[in-house]
Structure 1
Amino acid sequence: MSILRRTFALSLGLISIATLSGTAMAQNRELVVASSATYAPFAFENKDKQIVGFDVDIINAIAKQQNIKIKLVNTPWSGIFAALNNGDVDLVISGVTINDKRRQSFDFSAPYFAAHQLIAVPKDSTVTSLKDLAGKKIAVVNASTADDVASREFGKTNPNIRRFESTPLIISEVAGGGVDAAIGDNGVIAYRVSQTANLKAVTDASFPEESFGIVVKKGDKALQDKLNAGLAAVRADGSYAQIYKKWFAQDYKGR
């Protein structure tokens, strides 16, 4: 073998060793998990300023099952995907709906929660469907699935669509009379309405069934596979059903 070929082979070997070492380090290091803690009962701050909720319990159960060390970071929804793209966090669990638009930029775990949109209105409202909101002021969380739904139905630039940064803000707006209705994911809207005396929830059969997924960087198959394996395991061992009942006060019936 010539000196040049030996040198080339040695270089390849060193690259392979470095790659393996890097992978091993990545597997052992603490992973940073982003969640927007304004999304009860999925993620929110308790009286001790700890982030708790359904999403928190699910990711902790997955991490324990897969022997992954994680650190949860409260990240505003408006910057949560940028934080993932920039490498500030390794994954996102924050009630993120899996859709084709997001799949272009990110990869998802298998679904961990079945969802659909829900409308919050004052108790004396006559609204019974999305179409009844035509001409009315509607609050949505900016860049959310509800934003997409309202934009498709009434036009993205419609001035009646009011965009806010969190679910508590849209609920506050409708409860205070600033808007006529708020649209959001069923779990969080139902939870907020149950705690707000003058509001009720309205469902619309036209809203499609959706799924929440854990978000990872595009192409991060190793982490995606670990999350999927962990999720399958916590479903199989009954942990998922226990967490579901804890936060939604009903038995998990599957989908």
Structure 2
Amino acid sequence: MTGKKRCSLLPLAVVLGLLLASCVSGCSPQSGNVSEKVYVVGTDAAYPPFESAEGDRFAGFDIDVMNEVAKAAGFQVEWKNTGWPPLIADLDAGKVDIGMSAISITDKRREAFDFSDPYFDLNQLILVAEDSPISKLADLQGKQIGVQAMTTGEDIAKKAFGYSYAGIKSYKEMPSAVNDFLSGRLDAVIGDNGGIIYYATKIKDKKFKLIKDEAFPKESYGIMVKKGNLALVKKINQGLHTIKTNGTLQKIYDRYFQQQ
């Protein structure tokens, strides 16, 4: 749910060159009926292929999906790059209306926020060196593990090895964890499949493998709103239903993930 300042592994110009070819949107509301309601959407625009930004230009799978949901439901969106941890606080404080940032639907998050219907199914993967003997989560005991802070990957690692386990390194941004893995400072990185596969495909001159532990729970991404805003959830679900049934969501998915 997924560094923010581009690292050497993922040059900003390269990432945005790929993503902006598909979709570009600014911080201002999307074009449409001027009488339509405008909602501010907070995101962590450093998690390609789901969301990326350069200045006021946003691009990625989540960006495309949210824009199409808004169009189908009859409202407009204004994008705001909040970053990941601040997104939670901003949504709770009413500084943004919607959270759209590869956010896994969990029971804990449902206690504090309301979610749309799922729009993307996922699972966690473990990134390790190709010659590593690691084949499952339990094999990471005693290893240095990179995760993104406040994500389900972090929750899984802490539940498996203890919340005080010093080997878990939590990063503000996933690219920073991947870079430390490439530099030999980590034995493994745990992350959502869509994002970690994307980063793995960018790795040059280093052999690696991705491990799916069947013990990992199934997850889905949802669009998050402030607790109790059921009217907005209904609008979003109406838009989601439309783009699911008319094939738009599948077309967006194929654009970003068909090659994976």
Q: TM-score, normalised by structure 1?
A: 0.85
- Partner of 2:82 in structure 1? 75
- Partner of 1:24 in structure 2? none
Give yes or no for contact 1:244–1:250 (8 Å, CA) kept in 2: no
Query: 1 CA distance for matches of 2:146 and 2:256?
Result: 25
**Equivalent residue in structure 1 for 2:45, among 37, 42, 58:** 37
- Partner of 2:248 in structure 1? 239
- Partner of 1:248 in structure 2? 257
Give yes or no for contact 1:122–1:175 (8 Å, CA) kept in 2: no
- Partner of 2:166 in structure 1? 159
Q: Which amino acid aligns with 2:253?
A: Y
Task: Name the count of aligned residue pairs.
Answer: 224
Query: 2 CA distance for matches of 1:241 and 1:178?
Result: 38
Secondary structure of the 2:80 match is: strand
- Partner of 2:109 in structure 1? 102
> How far apart are 1:66 and its partner, in Å?
1.1
Secondary structure of the 1:104 match is: helix
More helix by share: 1
Alignment of 1:38-53 (within 5 A): 38-45=46-53, 50-53=57-60
RMSD of aligned residue pairs (Cα, Å): 1.5
Alignment of 1:133-144 (within 5 A): 133-144=140-151
CA displacement, residues 18-76 of structure 1 (integer Å, 9 cap, x when unaligned):
xxxxxxxxx94321001101111111136x76221110000000011112111111111
- Give aligned-pair identity as a percent: 39
Secondary structure of the 2:79 match is: strand
Give yes or no for contact 1:96–1:213 (8 Å, CA) kept in 2: yes
Give yes or no for contact 1:113–1:211 (8 Å, CA) kept in 2: yes
Corresponding position: 1:216 with 2:230: no
Pair member with larger Rg: 1
Give yes or no for contact 1:123–1:200 (8 Å, CA) kept in 2: yes
Secondary structure of the 2:88 match is: helix
Query: 1 CA distance for matches of 2:154 and 2:70?
Result: 32
Q: TM-score, normalised by structure 2?
A: 0.83
- Partner of 1:132 in structure 2? 139
Secondary structure of the 2:186 match is: coil
Q: Which amino acid aligns with 2:45?
A: A
Between stretches 102-111 and 64-73, larger displacement belongs to 64-73
Give yes or no for contact 2:36–2:74 (8 Å, CA) kept in 1: no
Structure 1: 5+ residue runs without aligned partners? 1-26
Query: 1 CA distance for matches of 2:222 and 2:213?
Result: 23
Q: Which amino acid aligns with 1:219?
A: G
Corresponding position: 1:207 with 2:182: no
Query: 1 CA distance for matches of 2:56 and 2:184?
Result: 29
Secondary structure of the 2:170 match is: strand
Structure 2: 5+ residue runs without aligned partners? 1-34
Give yes or no for contact 1:30–1:69 (8 Å, CA) kept in 2: yes
- Partner of 2:186 in structure 1? 179
Give yes or no for contact 1:110–1:228 (8 Å, CA) kept in 2: yes
Query: 1 CA distance for matches of 2:183 and 2:214?
Result: 27
